[in-house]
Structure 1
Amino acid sequence: MPLVVLCGLPGSGKSRRAEELRAALGAEGWPVHVVAEGEAGGRAALRAEAERRLGRRAVVVVDACNELKSFRYELYCAAKQAGTPHCLLHCAADSPEPGRDPPAGPFEPPDARNRWDRPLFAVCGQEPLPLPALRAALLESPPPPPNQATRAQPLQSTAFLHQLDRVTQEVLGAVLAAQRGGAQPGERIPVPAGGGEGLVLRRPVSAAELSRLRRQFISYTKMHPSDENLPQLGAMFLQYLSRSIQ
């Protein structure tokens, strides 16, 4: 369900606006859940609670300063991954209330040119909420299409993951053993787990670098799993190492 991100300095009326939204949408039969900023857990807890509520059939309102554009971007990505519309409501005060603590960091005003800050609505002081426009953005707009960064990755079978881990470990073991045994740059290293293919290194390679390349290969392969590739995993990993080690 839709996500409304409130944004503004302390004392700008965000909590009042959240309650106005709850009352207005609730009167039309839409359940509204307000996720408020608290002390425990900080932004991480706030984001986690918003993400948890996005899976339910209720409008989610994040009542917090949300002063950092990086955090507003994280909330935008959460809405996009959930496949739900999103909007930003900037609350501005006529004058700051005395005794209010400033936000933890510098306040970065929202900018409608940023995709994570739009559609952007603004209210100041006692101005009424732009309810028709908010309603249209939240309840009548199609959800944003997911992209590679937010699309849930397909689940891999246990057999695929086990084979991927085992084969890449065996390849690394063979390469490290050959180097310890005196293999020189330019010499072909036999790798049984590589499906009959070997590896020619142009230079010595440390265990740390090989482990890093293994992690990268595993991460990439998990994003494009296919049981048809099981017999070729060793050869694919050798090709990846050959391209990566220059």
Structure 2
Amino acid sequence: MALVTISGYPCAGKSTRVAQLTAQLRHILPPHLSVKVVSDESLNIPPSAYDDSRAEKPARGALFTAIQRLMAQDTVLIVDAPNYIKGFRYQIYCAAREMKLRVCTVYVVATPDLCREWNASRTNGRAYAPETLENLLVRFEEPSSMVRWDSPLFTVPWTEEGVPAAEIAQAILSGNVKPPNSGTLAAAKAPSDALHVLEQTSIAVVSAIMEAQAATQGSGGLVTLPLSTSLNVHITLPARNLTLSELQRLKRQFVTVHKKAITLGTTEKGAVDWAEHSVANKFVTYLEENLKP
């Protein structure tokens, strides 16, 4: 349904705002929609995870995995974490687009001095080390309504008592759902035997061409290549003798290009057919385009 990303300085009051927003959304949203919160605290990620990059990277990975697991069409998922890196907010945005969810960002604002004061007053083991807090304050990348992954953006300063729950609800209920693009779509995977079929079928086509050429004595023209008892393909050959080395060179080029599509995935959204007859026809077309008269 929707993903709400919370962003702000450490100890800026994000969890307090999330509690306010969650309570109000549960009254505003239709009954079939649930509101869930995923946070560092719910995942048992301690503030010390932000002390150094070696600990922070797996912590962000655990948060992102939880986000992907909890996203659903009947759920408004609120991500209560620092989310201070714009690249991570973009990663969350892409995951939401892949699931065809509406998105919005809530920027909880507080002054650095207030954050230091509130951090020092924490007694529940959720306080940041002073040097870690200062590092996070410096590294914070402020959300911007000018970029698509932060918009629509709702800013809640520390001076306001509540959150604009009605406006946020309207955004996640009636905002545009942006379709996945090629950057967020998972690549279509080739079958496990695709490499074998590619190699063996192209070898069979080369062998069949050499036999057909011997039968026609190099006269060229349209010939039928019997690749198996159930598969025949047609190719127009030039009126000259083709050498085995020439055909093998073109076969290697064809296999190399298509091997990359198999191993890395394809952007053709599943349109590639790796069946024997499809590979044979593709190779025949490739040969007709590259064989010199």
Q: Structure 2: state its 5+ residue gaps.
A: 50-54, 121-127, 204-242
Equivalence for 2:38: 35
Residues 189 and 47 from structure 1, CA distance in 2 versus in 1: closer, same or farther, beyond 3 angstroms? farther
Equivalence for 1:216: 260
Q: Distance in 2 between matches of 1:150 and 1:91?
A: 28
Q: Distance in 1 between matches of 2:8 and 2:259?
A: 41
Superposition deviation, residue 150 in structure 1: 1.9
Moved more, 57-66 or 93-102: 93-102
Residues 170 and 230 from structure 1, CA distance in 2 versus in 1: closer, same or farther, beyond 3 angstroms? closer
Equivalence for 2:281: 232
Superposition misfits of 4+ residues, deviation over 6 angstroms: 236-239
Equivalence for 1:96: 115
Counterpart residue type for residue 97 of structure 2: K
1:120 has 2:169 as partner: no
1:137 has 2:187 as partner: no
Superposition deviation, residue 32 in structure 1: 1.1
SS at match of 1:112: coil
CA RMSD for the aligned pairs? Answer: 3.6
SS at match of 1:10: coil
Q: Distance in 2 between matches of 1:125 and 1:237?
A: 65
Q: Structure 1: state its 5+ residue gaps.
A: 174-187, 192-196
Q: Distance in 2 between matches of 1:238 and 1:32?
A: 58
Residues 74 and 212 from structure 1, CA distance in 2 versus in 1: closer, same or farther, beyond 3 angstroms? farther
SS at match of 2:107: strand
TM-score when normalising by structure 2? 0.61
Superposition deviation, residue 6 in structure 1: 0.4
Which structure: larger Rg? Answer: 2
Superposition deviation, residue 170 in structure 1: 5.6
Residues 215 and 109 from structure 1, CA distance in 2 versus in 1: closer, same or farther, beyond 3 angstroms? farther
Q: Distance in 2 between matches of 1:96 and 1:144?
A: 35
Please list, as runs of the form range in 1=range in 2, the aligned pairs for 1:5-24 lying within 5 A after superposition.
5-24=5-24
Superposition deviation, residue 232 in structure 1: 3.4
Counterpart residue type for residue 48 of structure 1: T
Superposition deviation, residue 151 in structure 1: 2.9
Among all aligned residue pairs of Structure 1 and Structure 2, give the percentage whose two residues are the same amino acid.
Answer: 28
Q: Distance in 1 between matches of 2:60 and 2:186?
A: 23
Please list, as runs of the form range in 1=range in 2, the aligned pairs for 1:160-171 lying within 5 A after superposition.
161-162=192-193, 164-169=194-199
Moved more, 141-150 or 101-110: 101-110
Superposition deviation, residue 113 in structure 1: 1.4
TM-score when normalising by structure 1? 0.71
